[in-house]
Structure 1
Amino acid sequence: MTRSVRIIGAPADYGANRRGVDMGPSAIRYAGLADELERSGVPARDAGDLAVPRAEERDPDATAPPAGKAKFLRETEEVCTRLADEVADALADGETPLVLGGDHSIAIGTVAGSARDADVGAVWFDAHGDLNTPTTSPSGNVHGMPLAAALGVGEFADLGWANVPGLRERNVALVGLRSLDAAEKEVIRGGDLTAFTMSDIDERGITDVVEEALAVATDGTDGVHVSLDLDWLDPKEAPGVGTPVRGGVTYREAHSAMETVAESGAMRSLELVEVNPILDEHNETAALATELAASALGKTIL
């Protein structure tokens, strides 16, 4: 029997510098998420959206750590703390949490909730490493920091709300990297993370890479959190994202990756982030997000 899904919207844009990503959950729903899951035989319940105050109502620098800059850090903490509770509740009720972002900073909350009372691995489908810290970030935007926060990298080690004890570097695999800052490269080279670039996918094929990523994430864990940033895909496939990078995966590669995730039976939680309908073309990116969610949750061609 297919495990029931709980849809949780997290319409936060505190972590990004381009407005509109807070409308991502609405765009994904409008693109037919519920119908797509129903056609796939996936029972789903929509829990609605977290209440997230507008960024204009908040001070972006009020709670930045003393070393460096992280915009809207207090607001990010508030959203992620509530999101972690929602995700943990869904799992406690026997449901698979499907979180709709929002920018990628919400991943701090999704991972924390997924790893509450459990050891988890993570497969991070993204063009970027998300391993900057307030001191190393060129922009101060937290959507470039969530994996660093969850792993306690740099000054994040002192922010208890952000660290995820149930997530270890050796169980994290990044897939499809093609845009990294110098400090992020140092974190990857000096740590236990597993990283696959687009060159690895070109040379080995998407299925082989994702299978190895899942092996890393499932080694000694209770399940896998899957974080899917839509800028992982090539901008020709997913134009509605805030930080597009040419040379990403194709439509078919993305579906094959999600089908491989589903076949593993290891996925514990899933999030779709960085869909920005203001930048999209005919809601194409949101529609693609619905399709990829269905594939990750078990939809097959036959």
Structure 2
Amino acid sequence: MIAILAAPTNLGLRPPQPGSVPGCAKAPEALREAGLHRRLLTQGAEDAGVVLPGRYVADPATDDGLSGGGPFTGRLRNQDAILEHATRFAARLEHLLAAGRAPLVLGGDCSLLLGAGMALARRGSYGLIHVDGHTDFRHPGNNDACASLAGEDLAAAVGRHWPAVADPEGTGASFHAQHVAHLGCRDDDEHLSEARDTLGVVIPASRLRGGHGTSSVVAGATAALEVVGRARSGYWLHVDVDVLDPEHLPAVDSPDPGGLTPQELTELLVRLAPGAVGIQVTVFDPDLDPDGRCARLLADVLVTGLRQLASDC
């Protein structure tokens, strides 16, 4: 049974402009308004409530570093609040998974992968399919401007970050790098080469996109499933909706051309969801969707693409 869990954190993102906060914390309720919950509940899902984040606050140590005003301090923006939220989020996921539920987590930003990784690492050895318009592989070893976990989540998940987020419970990385598949980054992604050298498989969006019907998506899904099949316990599915081309869904903080169509993402989810123990959906920003068009599109994609979530588990 699908359990819809809201996790409306925006703690891992940079401010969209000075003095403001990212709007992706509004995503779960925007999707509810677009009919997602009603449609899924009709199909037998349950509403599992919400894990609320702490307050988003300006952090001079990181914000000054981003603007060139000073060095970074080895801390993330909102780091204490991120870790506190991850702990509560992980506990809720553990409870749902132990009860035989398939969590559909509505974020929120990609920093949610920290808590998901904590929950899964406590239960066994899981793989990860990371569907995202960016590799999210920035880390202190390749960039001296680390501050926002939402752009660094995959690096942290495989142990390449400061210890507070790379090894939050002192037990090692949440995911073995060779059990991780990344799908959907753009060809000019800054960290594409390193991700390819580190992860089980990396397939940019250009190799998933049309021109051959769904054959490219099918091949990408097959390659990803082969990688996560090496993990003993199953796999988690991460979907950042900026994997979609901004022609179709511009309501994200970092839209880049060259992404998937809604039909391609739907087909990808149809093939990946049945074997996943759960999924998190991130980075939709309702502040950039004033007429609700993007929310309705996402609701359609998720209802169709996740119809068989965890059915093979």
Partner of 2:133: 127
Q: What is the alpha-carbon distance in structure 1 between the residues aligned to residue 259 and residue 166 of structure 2?
A: 33
Cα deviation, 1:33-66, whole Å, max 9, x if unaligned, reads 2222145x3x22212222223213x64649x997
Q: TM-score, normalised by structure 1?
A: 0.86
Contact 1:228 1:273 in 2 (8 A): yes
Letter in 2 for 1:213: A
Contact 1:87 1:113 in 2 (8 A): yes
Partner of 1:175: 183
Q: Please, which moves more after superposition, 289-298 or 120-129?
A: 289-298
Letter in 2 for 1:170: Q
Letter in 2 for 1:133: H
Partner of 1:36: 39
Q: What is the alpha-carbon distance in structure 2 between the residues aligned to residue 123 and residue 84 of structure 1?
A: 18
Q: What is the alpha-carbon distance in structure 1 between the residues aligned to residue 5 and residue 106 of structure 2?
A: 6
Report how far residue 189 of structure 1 moved. Answer: 4.0
2:37 partner SS = helix
5 Å-filtered alignment, 1:223-302, equals 223-262=234-273, 265-298=274-307
Partner of 2:192: 185
Partner of 2:19: none
Aligned alpha-carbon RMSD (Å): 2.7
Letter in 2 for 1:152: G
Cα deviation, 1:168-221, whole Å, max 9, x if unaligned, reads 111111111116654x33532432431001222247611111121111112243
Partner residue of 2:98 out of 92, 98, 105: 92
Q: 1:272 to 1:35 in 2, by over 3 A?
A: same
1:243 partner SS = coil
Q: 1:246 to 1:159 in 2, by over 3 A?
A: closer
Q: What is the alpha-carbon distance in structure 1 between the residues aligned to residue 292 and residue 144 of structure 2?
A: 30
Letter in 2 for 1:244: P
- The reply on whether 1:145 has 2:152 as its aligned counterpart is yes
Q: What is the alpha-carbon distance in structure 2 between the residues aligned to residue 60 and residue 92 of structure 1?
A: 41
Contact 1:112 1:150 in 2 (8 A): no
Q: What is the alpha-carbon distance in structure 2 between the residues aligned to residue 101 and residue 144 of structure 1?
A: 15
Q: TM-score, normalised by structure 2?
A: 0.83
Flag structure 2 segments of 5+ consecutive residues without an equivalent: 17-21, 66-70
Q: What is the alpha-carbon distance in structure 1 between the residues aligned to residue 100 and residue 59 of structure 2?
A: 38
Q: 1:31 to 1:109 in 2, by over 3 A?
A: same
Q: 1:291 to 1:164 in 2, by over 3 A?
A: farther
Q: What is the alpha-carbon distance in structure 2 between the residues aligned to residue 194 and residue 61 of structure 1?
A: 35
1:278 partner SS = helix
Q: What is the alpha-carbon distance in structure 1 between the residues aligned to residue 92 and residue 271 of structure 2?
A: 27
Cα deviation, 1:4-58, whole Å, max 9, x if unaligned, reads 122211111111123211111111121112222145x3x22212222223213x6
Q: What is the alpha-carbon distance in structure 2 between the residues aligned to residue 174 and residue 60 of structure 1?
A: 33
Report how far residue 110 of structure 1 moved. Answer: 1.8
Contact 1:171 1:193 in 2 (8 A): yes
Cα deviation, 1:143-191, whole Å, max 9, x if unaligned, reads 0011111111143488531776452111111111116654x33532432
Q: What is the alpha-carbon distance in structure 2 between the residues aligned to residue 129 and residue 282 of structure 1?
A: 30
Report how far residue 129 of structure 1 moved. Answer: 0.7
Partner residue of 1:198 out of 196, 205, 211: 205
